[in-house]
Amino acid sequence: MNWTHWIVAPVVLPLAAGAACVLLERRAAGVARAVSIGTTFVLLGVALYLAGVASSGTVHPYLLGNWKAPFGIALALDRLSALMLVLTAVVAIASVLYARGGGAHGAHDAKGLHYHALFQFQLMGLNGAFLTADLFNLFVFFEVLLIASYGLLLHGGGAARLKAAIHYVGFNLAGSALFLVAVALLYGVTGTLNMADLSQRVAALGADQAALVRAAALLLIVVFGVKAALLPLYFWLPDTYRAAPAPVAALFAIMTKVGVYCVARVTTLIFGDDAGVATDVADPWLPWLAIGTLVLAAFGTLAAVRLRTLVAYLVIASAGTLLLAIGLGSAATLSAALFYLVNSTLVAAALFLLVDSIASGRGEAGDAMIPAPLAYRAAYGVLFFLFALEAAGLPPMGGFIGKALLLRASADQPLMIATWAALLASGFGMMIAVARAGSTIFWKAADANRMLTAAARPARTEGLAIGWLTAAMLLVVLNAGPMTRYAESTAAQLLDRRAYIEAVLGAQPVPPAWTPREGMKKP
Amino acid sequence: MELMVAIFVGVLTGTGVYLMLRARTFDLVLGLSLLSYAVNLLIFVMGRLTVGRPPILDGSQAPTLANYADPLPQALVLTAIVISFAMTALLLVIALVARSETRSDHVDGEEPQVREEGR
């Protein structure tokens, strides 16, 4: 298994599967669906294999088109990329299984054309964004995942989705324009867009370029803040996530983490601790904005009158926590962030699926926080309780371990008081919000007659999808020790930018097996 | 010449942002288009403004930026143009469908309750 091209497989596989789905879906929708589900499982296998490769601690570069970096586009696989790939695949499996489910309102993926094609293209964009080592290539993968997400958000149609889509698309197009401005400024100052090369050249810039490069760096953080839902830029998120079909919202849970991933990548690699005039350029801003995000998101959970809005604010709160940990910027807070990232992504996806399943069994009440008869109350209640514990950060679930790690790691930071206050207060607020939601929906409601609500019986794959995510969460808690060690070594690797630079810039092109000029010569 | 291009970029960005902040979908589309023109111009200029220099090496001169134009921003700007074109088309379609579905071209899908004075 020493085939070097495995690194590009997470990008190529969904591309091929998506193209196949476009061709197949009109003739044989069942085959297209099977291709999509099969590919997602294969992706998990590939991601796990790559995680095994990356766990050796070296950065594995891959030269697309066989051009030496920084002249061609390079991909790079390190522990963080591998972790994100595995997480994406795990969430994607739950999402695609749930989309296949029947339920009361018919399968989500049968409500319009192209569901599985768009789904695969979105996975391609996500995986590409996690793997690339080139800033412009990152922009391209952002656009791939965004344009697929626009289609997925609108899947099934309806006025509410259209309204959300106009805000979402307009906002993200403006964000893309800013991304290009930042990329152009960085290219104008340094003459390169390869992240490893950028890292070296930004560090070597003179004071006369300081204003331009700092402006470009902060613009980049703004763009990633749009994706990650940072304080002044998160207002698109609640409506969008509420309007999106449930399996799509579950997949979007990983999309906010793309922003978080990119912030972590550029603030350690390019604008890190020894980046010359751009050293720690985001440090005065990021933690405070993240604290603001966290606090407002906690208020949002308390004010939510619909379950899906509540879950959307929980997503924002997790993004705030993550950005706070990354903004503090020490190795310990970074590793706490990585541990928390896994848990918060899994629980956000699981909650979106669970809430949709509950809502479709409650008839007209839907996901509104009012008592209404509900079938399978006990099963739903236990799952909701587990996920609520995880999301609010209470023991024994992994969210608690992540927050505890972060509290311990920030104890020696200058922002310790603000960090602890924000984390504990917002955790308390979220706990009240989920407790209130749970008691309204499960305790005040009567047990619905199962015979009458036979149509509301959740499809087998829906249960399978939620069970899959629950199993993944429990697996993380049970393996908290190894997971913490993996997060620690990932954080150490992130902060060791030398190794990344040497690996990417030192990658040698493969000597050609056959050169066209030589091969076409007449013997 | 740099000053002229810089002013162009500034004016395009300013009008683009102004139009984007208006609450009608057509203004939003126009604003985003103008903003993307400004961005494309900026990317292009970031390769430095040169006149009469080819971007492709032909072997007649030493391969330095003194003799040749930087080809990379030109490739980047081409990608950016294609992407922004596709995105604008998509937004236009969404705006049209939203207009017919909600009977309003307001970005919120409904007219605001309180009309401003003098309208």
CB of A169 within 8 Å of a chain B CB? The answer is: yes
Q: Work out how many CB contacts closer than 8 A connect A with B.
A: 89
Chain B residues with CB under 8 Å of A170 CB are 20, 28, 32, 91, 107
Omega into A523 within 30° of 0, i.e. cis? no
Residue A282, pLDDT score:
84
Q: Is A512 within a domain? A: no
Number of domains within chain A: 1
- The answer to whether the CB atoms of B46 and A187 lie below 8 A apart is yes
Contact (Cβ atoms closer than 8 angstroms) between residue A287 and residue A415:
yes
Range of the domain at B73: 2-49+69-102
Whether residue A427 lies inside any domain: the answer is yes
Instruction: Tell me the residue type at A360.
Output: S
For residue B54, tell me if it sits in a domain: no
**Structure confidence at residue A266 as a pLDDT band (50, 70, 90):** very high
Average pLDDT over residues A25-30: 85
pLDDT digits (tens, 9 = 90+) for A254-265: 999 999 999 999
pLDDT in tens, A67-105: 888 888 999 999 999 999 999 999 999 999 998 875 556
Task: Give B43 to chain A, closest Cα distance, Å.
Answer: 5
* Inter-chain residue contact B39 with A177, CB threshold 8 Å: yes
Largest CA distance in chain B: 69
* CA atoms within 13 A of residue A19's CA, in its CB half-sphere: 5
State the CATH number of the domain containing residue B93.
1.10.287
Record the pTM. 0.92
- Domain assignment present for residue A511? The answer is no
A512 CB within 8 Å of a chain B CB: no
B111 lies in a domain?
no
Query: B46, A184: Cβ pair inside 8 Å?
Result: yes
- B/e letters for B67-85, b = 16+ CB within 10 Å, e = fewer, are ebbbebbeebbebbeebbe
Nearest alpha-carbon partner for A125 in A144, A147, A150: A144
Q: What is the mean pLDDT of residues A409-432?
A: 90
- DSSP, collapsed to helix, strand or coil, labels residue A348 as helix
pLDDT in the model for residue A344: 92
How large is the angle between the packed helices A115-131 and A79-100, nearest 10 degrees? 170
Domain contains B115: no
Interface test with B, best of A154, A166, A168 (most B CBs within 10 A): A166
> Looking at CA atoms only, how far is residue A220 from chain B in angstroms?
15
Helix-strand-coil split of chain B, %, nearest 5: 60, 0, 40
Average pLDDT, chain A: 88
Q: What is the pLDDT of residue B115?
A: 57
- Is the minimum CB–CB distance between A20 and chain B shorter than 8 Å? no
As a whole number of angstroms, the distance between CA A28 and CA A513 comes to 40
Closest by CA position to A324, among listed A360, A368, A292, A361: A292
pLDDT at A116: 92
Asked if residue A522 belongs to a domain, the reply is no
The type of residue at A198 is L
Is the pLDDT at A49 greater than 90? The verdict is yes
Residue A65 forms contact with B (CB below 8 Å): no
CB-neighbour burial class of residue B50 (10 A; exposed 0-12, middle 13-18, buried 19+): middle
CB pairs under 8 A, 24+ apart, for A359-368? A359/A307, A359/A308, A360/A103, A360/A104, A360/A105, A360/A456, A360/A458, A361/A104, A361/A448, A361/A453, A361/A456, A361/A458, A362/A456, A363/A456, A366/A306, A367/A306, A367/A307, A367/A308, A368/A305, A368/A306, A368/A307
DSSP A448: P
pLDDT reported for residue A206? 86
Predicted confidence band of residue B114 (pLDDT cuts 50, 70, 90): low
> Mean pLDDT, to the nearest integer, of A128-146?
94
pLDDT at res. A75: 93
Nearest to A169 among B39, B91, B108 (CB): B91
ipTM at complex level: 0.92
pLDDT score of A106 more than 80 = no
- Closest chain B CA to residue A139: B80
Q: Say whether A137 sits in a helix, a strand or coil.
A: helix
Within a 13 Å sphere around the CA of A442, how many CA atoms are in the beta-carbon half?
19
Burial status of residue A364 (CB atoms within 10 A of its CB: 0-12, 13-18, 19 or more) = exposed
CB–CB contact A140 B79 (8 Å): yes
Q: Which of B40, B42, B45 to mutate to test the interface with A (most CBs of A within 10 A)?
A: B42
Task: Please say whether the beta carbons of A73 and A84 come within 8 A.
Answer: no
pLDDT of residue A100: 85
- For residue A291, the model assigns a pLDDT of 93
* Contact between A149 and A176 (Cβ < 8 Å): no
Using one digit for the tens of pLDDT, what is the confidence trace for A457-514? 677 888 899 999 999 999 999 999 999 999 999 999 999 889 999 999 988 888 877 7
In 3-state terms, chain A is what percent helix, strand and coil (to 5)? 75, 5, 20
Asked, for residue B57, whether it belongs to a domain, the answer is: no
Is residue A144 less than 8 Å (CB to CB) from chain B?
no
Q: Which residues of B touch A154 (CB under 8 A)?
A: 94
* Chain B touched by A184 (CB under 8 Å): yes
Q: Least CA distance to B40: which residue of chain A? A: A180
Q: Is the separation of the CB atoms in A76 and A483 below 8 Å?
A: no
Residue B56 lies in a domain: no
**Subunit contact A166:B97, Cβ cutoff 8 A:** no
pLDDT band at B119 (very low <50, low <70, confident <90, very high): very low
- pLDDT at position A187 is 93
If we measure between CA atoms, which residue out of A70, A179, A177, A44 comes closest to residue A132?
A: A70
Compute φ and ψ for A76, nearest 5 degrees.
-140, 135
φ/ψ (deg, to 5) at A77: -110, 115
* CB contacts, 8 Å: A187 with chain B: 43, 46-47, 72-73, 76
CA angle (A273, A75, A145) in 5-degree steps: 95
Task: Examine residue B87 and state whether it is found in any structural domain, yes or no.
Answer: yes
Mind telling me how many Å the CA of A465 is from chain B's nearest CA? 31
CA dist A426 and A434 (Å) reads 12
Q: What is the mean pLDDT of residues B46-56?
A: 84
Cβ atoms of A410 and A449 closer than 8 Å:
no
Of A154, A174, A183, the CB nearest to B35: A174
CA distance A13 to A5: 12
CB A293 within 8 A of CB A320: yes
What is the distance in angstroms between the Cα of A323 and the nearest Cα belonging to chain B?
28
Q: Which residues contact A73 (CB under 8 A, 6 or more apart)?
A: A64, A65, A67, A132, A134, A137
β-strand partners of B24:
B106
Instruction: State pLDDT tens for residues B2-34.
Output: 899 999 999 999 999 999 999 899 999 999 999
- How close A254 gets to chain B, by Cα (Å)? 22
Distances (CA, A) of B108 to A163, A174, B89: 6, 17, 20
SS3 annotation, A50-83 = HHHHHCCCCCEEEEHHHCCCCCCCEEEECHHHHH
The rounded mean pLDDT for chain B is: 87
pLDDT of amino acid B80: 92
Give a yes or no: residue A516 inside a domain.
Answer: no
Whether residue A452 has pLDDT greater than 70: no
- The reported pLDDT for the residue numbered B117 is 54
CA A509 to chain centroid: 32
Domain assignment of residue B40, yes or no: yes
What pLDDT is recorded for position A82? Answer: 95
Burial (CB count within 10 angstroms: exposed 0-12, middle 13-18, buried 19+), residue B99? middle
Please check whether residue B27 lies inside any domain of the structure: yes
Number of structural domains found in chain B: 1
- Asked whether residue A521 is assigned to any structural domain, the reply reads no
Kindly tell me if the per-residue pLDDT of A39 is higher than 80.
yes
pLDDT at A444: 81
Residue A147 contacts B where some CB pair is shorter than 8 Å: yes
Domain that holds residue A325: 4-505
Report the interhelical angle of A79-100 vs A29-54 (nearest 10°).
Answer: 160
Instruction: Give the Cα separation of A32 and A154 in Å (integer).
Output: 20
Q: Is the pLDDT of residue A448 over 70?
A: no
Min Cα distance B29 → chain A (Å) is 8
A431 within domain boundaries: yes
CA distances from A169 to A37, A175, A216, B28 (A): 28, 10, 23, 11
